[in-house]
Amino acid sequence: MANPLHREIEAALTTPVKMSISLGGGMVGQVYRVELADGRQVVAKTTSNPEAFLEREGAMLRYLAENSSLPVPAVLHSSATLLLMEYVEGNSGFSPMAEQHAAALLADLHGITAPAYGLEVPTLIGGLHQPNPWTDSWIDFFRDQRLLYMAGVAHRAGRLPEALHRRVESFAQQLPCWLIEPERPALLHGDVWTTNVLAVGGRITAFIDPAIYYGHPEIELAFITLFNTFGAAFFERYQALRTIAPRFWEERRDIYNLYPLLVHVRLFGGGYVSGVDRTLRRFGY
C-alpha cells in the first residue's frame, strides 16, 4: 500500500498505520487488511475512480446496522474513494449449522418492511448503479428497475445483443403471468454471493458487500441458488421460519435470476449471455 494511502487512513482514523496486507482486488478497487498502531485491525477498500461510489457501500452497511440485526462490519469512514470498516474474522465455507444460522438471519431481515418497493437512494450491485425509485407494485419495480434497466445497461455497453435485448423487453411485459405480489416489501441484502458471507464454525460473523433495497424475498432466495451460496440446510430452516410460496422452485426462481444474470452480462459477457437466452427460451421468448 502506497504511503499516501497510509496517510489518508491515518488522517481518517487519527491513528498511525503499523502494516497492511493486500486481500486482492475487489469489483471496484483494491482491498487491504490494515493493522493500526493501537492494535485494531480494519479493512480498507480503495479506488482512484470516484464513480465507484464507495460511499454508497458505506451507507448500505450503515443502513443495515441501524435498521436490522444482520451482522455487518462497522463502517469507520467512507468517501467516494476510500471505505474503512472493522475487520471481521471468518471465511466463506459454510457448515450445515452455519447455513441454518444464515437462514434465521435472512428470515429476520425479510421481516423488516417499508411502505413501498425500492429505497430512499440508489445503491450498487457489483459496482453497478442500482436504481430504487419508490414503487407501489413489486412486479412493476422488478420489470422497470431490474430487468429492463439492467438489460438496457448491458445492451448499451455492447454486452447484450440487440435481438436478445428485444426478447428481454418482450418477456418483461408478461411478468404478471408468472410473478406474484408479496404481502409487503421486505428488506433485502441483495447480493448473497458466497464471498459476501463470512462464517466461523457454525455461526455467521458478517454479511458484506450489500446491494440493499425493499423487494420480494424470493429474489434473494433465487440469487442464493444461482451460484449455490447455501444448500438444503439453509432452505429447510428458512422454510420453517418463512413460507416459500408454491411455484417458486419451478418458475419464479429462474425469472428472478435473470436480473443477476444480466448484471453478470454487463460485467463479464461471455457465458452469461447464453444463460439469459436459455431462461427466455424456457418461457417461450
Neighbours of 89 (CB within 10 A): 10
Q: In terms of domains, do 108 and 82 share one? A: no
Specify the CATH number for the domain of residue 245: 3.90.1200.10
Written as nine digits, the cell of 67 is 435498521
Q: Is residue 91 part of a domain?
A: no
pLDDT category of residue 25 using cuts at 50, 70 and 90 = low
Q: Which ranges of the chain does DSSP label H, i.e. alpha helix? A: 3-13, 54-67, 96-109, 138-141, 149-156, 162-172, 217-226, 232-241, 253-256, 258-268, 271-282
251 phi and psi angles, rounded to 5 deg: -135, -60
DSSP 9-27: HHHHHTS-EEEEEEEEE-S
Domain boundary among 86, 120, 144: 86
163 and 229 share one domain: yes
Position 182 pLDDT exceeds 80:
yes
What grid cell was written down for 36?
493500526
| Same-domain check for residues 54 and 195 | no
pLDDT for position 23: 86
pLDDT of residue 123 exceeding 80: yes
User: Higher confidence at residue 197 or residue 24?
Assistant: 197
| Predicted pLDDT at 164 | 98
What's the confidence (pLDDT) of residue 102?
Answer: 98
Per-residue pLDDT, 49 = 76
| Neighbour count for residue 66 (Cβ, 10 Å) | 7
Percentage with pLDDT > 70 across the chain = 97
Q: Which residue range(s) make up the domain with 63?
A: 3-86
Same domain? 37 vs 113: no
Q: How many domains does the chain have?
A: 2
CATH number at residue 37: 3.30.200.20
Instruction: Dihedral sign for Cα 17, 20, 26, 28, please.
Output: positive
Q: How far is CA 86 from the centre of its chain?
A: 19
Determine the pLDDT at residue 106: 98
User: CA-to-CA distance for 169 and 150, rounded, in angstroms?
Assistant: 11
Q: Is 278 left (phi over 0), alpha (psi -120 to 50) or beta?
A: alpha
pLDDT bin (cut points 50, 70, 90) of residue 125 is very high
Is residue 271 domain-resident? yes
Question: Which of 23-27's residues contact partners 24+ apart within 8 Å by CB, and which partners?
Answer: 26/209, 27/126, 27/127, 27/209, 27/267
Each residue's pLDDT tens digit, 245-273? 999 999 999 999 999 999 999 999 989 99
> Could you tell me if residue 136 is inside a domain?
yes
Which pTM was predicted?
Answer: 0.95
The verdict on 155 and 46 lying in the same domain is no
- pLDDT surpasses 90 at 28: no
State the average pLDDT over residues 162-187: 98
The residues, any chain, with a CB within 8 Å of residue 121's CB and separated by 6 or more, are 56, 59, 132
